[in-house]
Amino acid sequence: MIGMVALLSSALTVVGMDRVGDRIAASLQAERRIARYAVLSTEVSTFLVVAAEAIQSGLPPEARAARLSPVSADLDRTFDLMRKDLAAAVDEAAALGLAEQSRRATQGIAIARMDALFRTARAGLTSETRDRERLQGVLNGFAHAFDPLLNEAVGDEIRTRDAILTRIAALRRTLTGLALAVAALAAVMVGGFYLGLLRPQFARLDRARHATRRIGASDFAADLPERTADEIGQLFAETNRAATALARDRARLNDTIRARTEDLRTANAALARIDEDRRRFFADISHELRTPLTVILMEAELGLKGAAPQDAFATIQGRAQRLSRRIDDLLRVARSESGRIELCPEPMDLRIALAEALAETRPELEAAGLEVTVTSGPALQVTGDPNWVRQVIAGLARNVLHHAREGGRIAVSVGTEAGFGCVRVVDNGPGIPQEERTRVLERFGRGSAAAPGECFGIGLALARWVLDQQGGRIAIESPVPDGFRLGTAPGTLIRAYVPLAD
> What would the pLDDT profile of 361-404 be if each residue is shown by its tens digit?
888 888 888 999 999 888 999 999 998 899 899 989 988 888 88
Express each pLDDT in 312-371 by its tens digit.
677 777 777 667 666 765 655 555 455 567 788 999 999 999 999 998 888 888 888 899
Q: What is the mean pLDDT of the chain?
A: 79
Question: Which residues make beta-bridge pairs with 426?
Answer: 411, 493
Reported as a single tens digit per residue, the pLDDT across 289-301 is: 666 677 777 767 7
The answer to whether residue 118 scores a pLDDT higher than 80 is yes
Read out DSSP for 375-421?
E--S--EEEE-HHHHHHHHHHHHHHHHHHSGGG-EEEEEEEEETTEE
Domain boundaries, the chain: 2-186, 345-499
Separation CA 421–CA 466 (nearest Å): 15
Q: What is the mean pLDDT of residues 191-214?
A: 75
Burial of 288 from C-beta contacts in 10 A (0-12 / 13-18 / 19+) = buried
Domain 345-499 belongs in CATH node 3.30.2420.10: no
First to last CA, the chain: 105
Instruction: Write the DSSP string, 271-313.
Output: HHHHHHHHHHHHHHHHHHHHHHHHHHHHHHHHHHHSS-THHHH
Model pTM?
0.41
The amino acid sitting at 194 is: Y
Query: 128: which DSSP letter?
Result: S
Per-residue pLDDT band for 452 (boundaries 50, 70, 90) equals: very low
Helix or strand or coil: residue 340? coil
Tell me how far apart the alpha carbons of residues 105 and 245 are, in angstroms, rounded to a whole number. Answer: 68
Please count the other Cβ atoms lying within 10 Å of the Cβ belonging to residue 61. Answer: 14
What is the per-residue pLDDT for 454? Answer: 44
Q: Output the CA–CA distances (angstroms, integers) from residue 200 to 227, 230, 283, 287, 502, in the order listed.
A: 15, 13, 78, 84, 91
Q: Cα(218)–Cα(396) distance, rounded to whole angstroms?
A: 64
pLDDT at 96: 61
387 CB neighbour count, 10 Å cutoff: 17
Phi, psi of 482 (to 5 degrees): -55, -35
What is the structure's pLDDT at 285?
Answer: 64
- Span 484-498, pLDDT tens digits: 998 889 999 999 999
Which H or E run contains 196?
Answer: none
Q: Per-residue pLDDT for 458 more than 70?
A: no
**Residue positions counted in the chain:** 502
- Listed in sequence order, the residues at least 6 apart from 338 whose beta carbon sits closer than 8 Å to its beta carbon are 274, 277
The answer to whether 364 touches 395, Cβ cutoff 8 Å, is no
Whether residue 92 contacts residue 160, with contact meaning beta carbons closer than 8 Å, is answered with no
